[in-house]
Amino acid sequence: MEKRLPGPGTTAVWAGEEDREAGAPTQVPMVGSVSFGYRALDPWLEVARGERPGHIYSRNTNPTVAAFEEKVRRLEGAPAATSFATGMAAISGALWALLAPGKRVVSTRDTYGGTSVVFTDYLPHWGVDVVLCETENADALETECARGCDLLYLETPTNPTLKVLDLARLCAAGRRAGATVVVDNTFATPLNQNPLALGAHLVVHSATKFLGGHADALGGIVCGDEERIRRIFHFREITGATLHPEAAYLLLRGLKTLALRVARQNESALRIARWLEAAPGVSSVNYPGLASHPAHAVAARQMKGFGGVLSFALDGGMAAVERFLPALRWAHLAANLGAVETVAGTPATTSHVECTPEERAALGIPEGLIRYSVGIEDAEDLLADLEQALSVAREGGT
């Protein structure tokens, strides 16, 4: 009989945890030990040289952290993966490991705020040339790749405006130029989108968000081919932005319900986005699942679900937003997304908190936009909550 490949829900539960010895714990234990001891030099050296499996020092590798890496690696269908202390450590670690003075990066204006700051402040400081194109201008991105590109960096859907990039087309443009193509897949999750299958070399995640899903552990991960991951792992073990085993333990626990959470969040977010589009007092809604989204056809082609995050603007601008947000009962007003609880905020307090108002304006990020990350609550409760908060926002304006 042909061996059946497990689906993503089964992979999220079992990957990295299939080997079970009699009497062994059924859950990956949290191994907090900094070091791993040996009784003789030979086996110790063999592990150090990578000739036999094992661990030596937890800045380099650790069993709990390795189980987390294995689960995400399998979900992304990648040959290799290496984790980091946060999503930003993963993104900057990948960039620093692969770039050098004189290299040229092509990316878009809409990337997560921290990533934008790496592009505008830090990489140029170290002699890396960075070109940021209009996010929705695929022709400009292709042209810049053809002019010479060592690394093409894409994020889709974007934070917080939910723009969608055509991954198959842009990954092909990057590959033609000989570039390494990196995709931030945080918003979509591996359940909804697999950039490696669409031509990317590397996928990065803020595991802090949907992967962990419970807003109680920071983490980041990069998945891709063995050669690039080896270089990125080496950079991380030397510079030290290692994922803590306790965070890995919490992320592993969260990952087991990823498929359930994402299915629910996809469904509720689409329902809420459609409802908001018709709601009085809402001037615009950004969600890739809406037929009105400018790149809905691309999103429908490359995504299995449209994700749990949407953003919208209110009639009455910032004053209405200031009345609306505190009126929400079922949402944390907080700088996070992808959690089991609904979370809401503005770019100035969430995705682009790292940027000055001038930088946000230059990136084309509207101050009055509301980012709404849908949790796993009952959609009816969230809709009723939005309805009453919108009426509070409107009343203040009369």
Q: How many residues bind ligand PLP (CB under 6 A)?
A: 15
Q: How far, in Å, CA of 251 to CA of 66, rounded?
A: 12
Please select the residue that binds ligand PLP; options are 16, 93, 114, 305, rule is CB under 6 A.
114
Please check whether residue 321 is in contact with residue 377, taking contact to mean a CB–CB distance below 8 angstroms.
no
CA-based nearest residue to 116, from 136, 138, 94, 92: 92
329 flagged as catalytic:
no
Q: How far, in Å, CA of 212 to CA of 251, rounded?
A: 4
Please select the residue that binds ligand PLP; options are 68, 96, 112, 324, rule is CB under 6 A.
112
59 flagged as catalytic:
yes
What is the contact mask toward ligand PLP in residues 79 to 98, using x (rule: CB under 6 A)? -------xxx----------
Beginning with the edge strand found earlier in the chain, give each strand of the sheet holding 370-373 in spatial order.
282-286, 309-314, 370-373, 343-345, 332-333
Cross-strand pairs, 205:
221
- Closer CB to ligand PLP, residue 262 or residue 389? 262
Q: Report residue 94 as tokens.
A: 């990948």
Instruction: Find the binding residues for ligand PLP in span 214-233 (CB under 6 A).
Output: 218, 220
- Give residue 202's identity as a one-letter amino acid code: L
Per CB under 6 A, 206 contacts ligand PLP? yes
- CB atoms closer than 10 angstroms to residue 357: 11
- 74, 104, 209, 228: the active-site residue: 209
Instruction: Find the binding residues for ligand PLP in span 347-376 (CB under 6 A).
Output: 351
Per CB under 6 A, 72 contacts ligand PLP? no
CB of 49 to ligand PLP, least distance (A): 33
175 flagged as catalytic:
no
- 110, 184, 236, 372: the active-site residue: 184
Per CB under 6 A, 110 contacts ligand PLP? no
**Kind and range of the H or E element at 375?**
none
Cross-strand pairs, 81:
223
- Please give the C-alpha separations between residue 240 and each of 54, 83, 205, 215, 300, in angstroms, as whole numbers: 19, 11, 18, 23, 39
112 flagged as catalytic:
yes
Instruction: Find the binding residues for ligand PLP in span 148-187 (CB under 6 A).
Output: 155, 159, 184, 186-187
Which residues are identified as catalytic?
59, 112, 184, 209
